[in-house]
Chains A and B, each alone.
Chain A
Amino acid sequence: MKRYLLLLIAGPLAATTFYVNLGGLGGQEDYETRFKANVEELDKLTKAAPQAKVFSLSGVQASKAKLKDTFEQIAREAKAEDNLVVTLIGHGTFDGTDYKFNLTGPDVTAKELAMWMLPVLAKRQLLVNTTSASGGSLADLKQDGRTVITATKSGTEKLSTVFPRFWLEALRDPQADADKNDVISALEAYRYAESKTTKYYESNKRLATEHPMIADTASTAGFRTPDPLKGEAMVAMRMPVIVFGTLQNAAKTPEKQALLRQRETLEQQIDNLKLRKAAMAADQYRLELRNLLLQVARVQQELDK
Chain B
Amino acid sequence: MMRVSMIGIFTMGVLLAQKPVVKKATGVTYDRAKAATCWDLKEKGETVQSTGCFVALMGEKSPALAAEGTWGVGKYAEAVKLFEAALEAYPDDPYVRIRFGQLFWSRFNRGEAVKLISEALEMDKKNSTAMMVLARILSKGFDSKALDLAKAAAEADPGLVEARELMAQLALENSDEKAATEEANKALSINPKSLNAMATLGAIELLKNKPTDYFDKILAINPKYGEAWFLAGHHFILNRRYEEGIELYKKAVALKPDMWEAREQLGINLMRLGKPVEAREQLELAYNASYHSNEVVNSLRLMDSYKNFVSHKFEGGEVRLDKKEAAILQPYFEEEVRKARTTFEAKYKMKLNVPLEVEVYPNHDDFAVRTLGMPGLGATGVSFGPVVAMDSPSARKGGDYHWASTLWHELSHSYILVMSKFLVPRWFTEGISVHEETQASPEWGDPVEPTVLMAIKQKKFLPVADLDSGFVRPKEPMQIGLSYFQAGQALDWIVKTYGQDTVNAMVHSFAQRKTTPEVIQEHLKLTPTEFDEKLMAFIQARYGKSADNLKELRAAIDGTNKAIAKKDWDTAISEGLKATTGYPPTAILATAYEAMAKAYLAKGEKIKARDVLRDYAKTSGRDPDTLKKLASLEEEGGDKAMAAAALKRLIYISPIGDEDLHRKLGEYYLDLKQPERAMPAFLAQLASKPVDPAGAYYNLARSYVALSRPKEAQDALFQSLEMAPGFKPAQKLLLELENHSSKD
Contacts and interface: CB of A to CB of B under 8 A. Distances in A.
A263 B59 CA distance: 91
A179 B693 CA distance: 9
A196 interface: yes
Interface in A154-203: 170, 173-182, 191-192, 195-196, 199, 202-203
Contact of A179 (B654, B691, B694, B718): B694
B345 interface: no
A174 B727 CA distance: 12
Contacts of A196: 691
A267 B692 contact: no
Given A176-B691, A204-B398, A205-B396, A300 B723 contact: no
B728 A274 contact: no
Given A203-B656, A289-B718, A289-B722, A294 B694 contact: no
Contacts of A6: none
B533 interface: no
Contacts of B394: 202
Interface in A278-304: 286, 289-290, 292-294, 296-298, 300-301, 304
B654 A175 contact: no
Contacts of A289: 718, 722
Nearest to B398: A203
B718 A180 contact: no
A294 B717 CA distance: 11
Nearest to B659: A199
B732 A178 contact: no
B465 to A, nearest CB: 41
B397 A297 contact: no
Interface string B679-696: 000000000011111110
A286 B715 CA distance: 9
Residues of A in contact with B, size category: 35 or more
Contacts of A290: 718
B722 A270 contact: yes
Given A286-B718, A289-B722, A296 B691 contact: no
B718 A175 contact: no
Interface in A252-286: 263, 266-267, 270, 274, 286
Interface string B225-251: 000000000000000000000000000
Interface in B716-732: 718, 721-728, 730-732
B15 to A, nearest CB: 41
Nearest to B696: A175
A203 B726 contact: no
B735 A298 contact: yes
A66 interface: no
A202 B725 CA distance: 32
A79 interface: no
B694 to A, nearest CB: 6
Interface in B650-680: 654, 656-659
A294 B734 contact: yes
A270 B725 contact: yes
A180 B656 contact: no
B705 to A, nearest CB: 16
A192 B654 CA distance: 21
Contact of A293 (B624, B654, B656, B725): B725
A293 B691 contact: no
A274 B398 contact: no
A2 interface: yes
Given A203-B657, A204-B397, A293-B721, A176 B726 contact: no
B694 A202 contact: no
B568 interface: no
A274 B722 contact: yes
A202 B694 CA distance: 24
Nearest to B721: A293
Contact of B726 (A199, A202, A296): A296
A179 B397 contact: no
A199 B728 contact: no
Nearest to A246: B728
B724 A179 contact: yes
A298 B736 CA distance: 11
Nearest to A290: B718
A297 B732 contact: yes
Given A203-B657, A293-B718, A300 B728 contact: yes
Contacts of A195: 689, 691
A178 B398 contact: no
Given A175-B692, A176-B691, 19 more contacts: A175-B690, A179-B694, A179-B723, A180-B695, A192-B691, A199-B658, A204-B398, A205-B396, A205-B397, A267-B726, A274-B722, A289-B722, A293-B718, A293-B721, A293-B722, A293-B725, A293-B731, A294-B734, A297-B732
Report, nearest first, the 8 A-B pairs whose CB atoms are least far apart: A180-B727, A297-B731, A175-B692, A180-B724, A205-B397, A203-B657, A179-B724, A192-B691
17 contacts: A177-B692, A178-B724, A179-B724, A180-B695, A180-B727, A181-B724, A199-B659, A202-B656, A203-B654, A204-B398, A274-B722, A293-B722, A293-B725, A294-B734, A297-B721, A297-B731, A297-B732
